């Protein structure tokens, strides 16, 4: 079987499941567990690339298809994947068309092979003429759902197109050097010696020129370095940590921020997550870094089930959110999320803030964090909390940066709000 045909068939099956409401990560994981011969790298590229430009590919199929009713989900997903392959520039057009036709047979859709062939050939012939039509369709032009586009436009009138464009790019790979185990400058030199070009970003961050497998990183297994976005690394800095403090990470798994807290200062850390399996992964991450914390599987919104009553000096509320600031890492999110989800997240975030605030000592500080760019989950939640909580006061971030960090080439999108409790 031709390798591209096999990859297209496998990718189409996964993308069809995403279109039906399932997550991309679960689909790729299941395919790998099935033991197929498809290259994981090729499969990942086809799935992620297709879903990044999902709105565009849907519009192309709709414009060129003469079928009524719609083709079956597998054939439609195959066409989306093949269109991405055509536009990626990695393959000759004739090869993609041929391999997509073969993939339709692999998927048990031999009757649709002619349709696949005809539509892809029509796209190759009429591609230039299609662009004007696609440019008039917001979903096809910006590769995001219409409701998402309108939210970003309303929240960032001057930057909305840049925010959307960033969400369609390949994400950067940033490292966090464990300064308890290694020196940042020395580790940068070790990367260069290993043929991995990188540059400094932030106090302990190194931005790789090209992503690589974590196992290739010198000292990764020995806990000298972790993979963590440069934006996420700001959380530990903004907490203003000092030795001897009691610190709570209320939504801790998978543990990147917990580990950074422990690498930054000799504090007593309690790390919570409601999912026992995620807590197990958090413990493994800390063990690799030779760090210690009290890790508990508990619902942070029910302090009486886990809190001993001794207040914390610092609380990190890295709350569940839409993930709109990291959509380029999870392109399925753009199409799985619904407008009603944002209000539901905001309500949950408010409950978490109220609960964790109870555990904060007078004079202590709570850092509210999301990886979202939607104001409803960010400033609106924090402003409402401060309005109803007399002891709460917004404090400036350590570097004087604005609360909203928009996604950019070197980092993802995050929101940070530091809230101080009156003594």
Catalytic residues: 371
DSSP 120-181: HHHHHHHHHHHHHHHHTSHHHHHSS-HHHHHHHHHH-TTTHHHHHHHTTSPPP-EEEE-TTT
Is residue 40 a contact partner of residue 32, using CB atoms and an 8 Å limit?
Answer: yes
Is residue 141 a contact partner of residue 135, using CB atoms and an 8 Å limit?
Answer: yes
What is the spatial distance between Cα 112 and Cα 71, in angstroms, rounded to a whole number? 9
Cβ-Cβ contacts under 8 Å for 60 (sequence gap 6 or more) = 83, 123, 130, 134, 140
DSSP 7-35: HHHHHHHHHHHHHTT--HHHHHHHHHHTT
| Other Cβ atoms within 10 Å of 339 Cβ, number | 12
Is residue 257 a contact partner of residue 238, using CB atoms and an 8 Å limit?
Answer: no
């Amino acid at each position: 079987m031709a390798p591209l045909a096999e990859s297209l068939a496998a990718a189409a099956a996964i993308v069809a499941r995403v279109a039906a409401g399932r997550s991309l990560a679960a689909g790729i994981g299941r395919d790998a567990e099935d033991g197929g011969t498809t290259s994981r790298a090729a499969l990942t590229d086809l799935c992620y690339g297709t879903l990044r430009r999902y709105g565009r590919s849907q519009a192309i199929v709709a414009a060129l298809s003469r079928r009524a009713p719609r083709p079956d989900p597998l054939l439609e997903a195959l066409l989306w994947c093949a269109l991405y392959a055509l536009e990626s520039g990695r393959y000759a057009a004739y090869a993609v068309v041929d391999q997509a036709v073969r993939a339709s047979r692999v998927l048990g859709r031999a009757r649709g092979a002619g349709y696949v062939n005809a539509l892809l050939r029509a796209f190759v012939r009429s591609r230039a003429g299609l662009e004007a039509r696609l440019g008039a369709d917001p979903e096809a032009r910006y590769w995001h759902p219409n409701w998402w586009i309108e939210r970003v436009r309303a929240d960032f009138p001057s930057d909305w197109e840049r925010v959307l464009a960033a969400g369609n790019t390949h994400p950067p790979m940033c490292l966090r050097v464990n300064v308890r185990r290694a020196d940042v400058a020395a580790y940068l030199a070790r990367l260069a010696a290993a043929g991995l070009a990188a540059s400094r970003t932030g106090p302990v961050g190194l931005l790789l020129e090209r992503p690589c497998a974590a196992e290739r990183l010198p000292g990764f297994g020995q806990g000298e370095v972790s993979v963590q976005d440069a934006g996420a690394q700001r959380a530990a800095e903004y907490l203003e940590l000092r030795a001897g403090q009691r610190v709570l990470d209320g939504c801790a798994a998978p543990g990147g921020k917990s580990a950074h807290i422990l690498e930054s200062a000799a504090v007593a850390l309690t790390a919570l997550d409601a999912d026992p399996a995620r807590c197990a992964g958090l413990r493994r991450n800390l063990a690799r870094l030779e760090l210690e914390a009290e890790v508990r599987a508990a619902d942070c919104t029910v302090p009486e089930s886990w809190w001993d009553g001794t207040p914390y000096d610092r609380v990190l509320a890295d709350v569940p959110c839409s993930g709109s600031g990291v959509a380029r890492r999870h392109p399925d999110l753009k199409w799985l999320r619904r407008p009603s989800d944002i209000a539901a997240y905001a309500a949950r975030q408010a409950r978490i803030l109220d609960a964790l605030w109870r555990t904060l000592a007078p004079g202590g500080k709570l850092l509210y964090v999301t990886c979202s760019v939607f104001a409803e989950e960010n400033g609106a939640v924090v402003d409402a909390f401060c309005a109803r909580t007399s002891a709460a006061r917004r404090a400036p971030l350590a570097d004087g940066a604005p609360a909203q960090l928009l996604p950019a080439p070197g980092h993802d999108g995050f929101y940070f709000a530091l809230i101080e409790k009156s003594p």
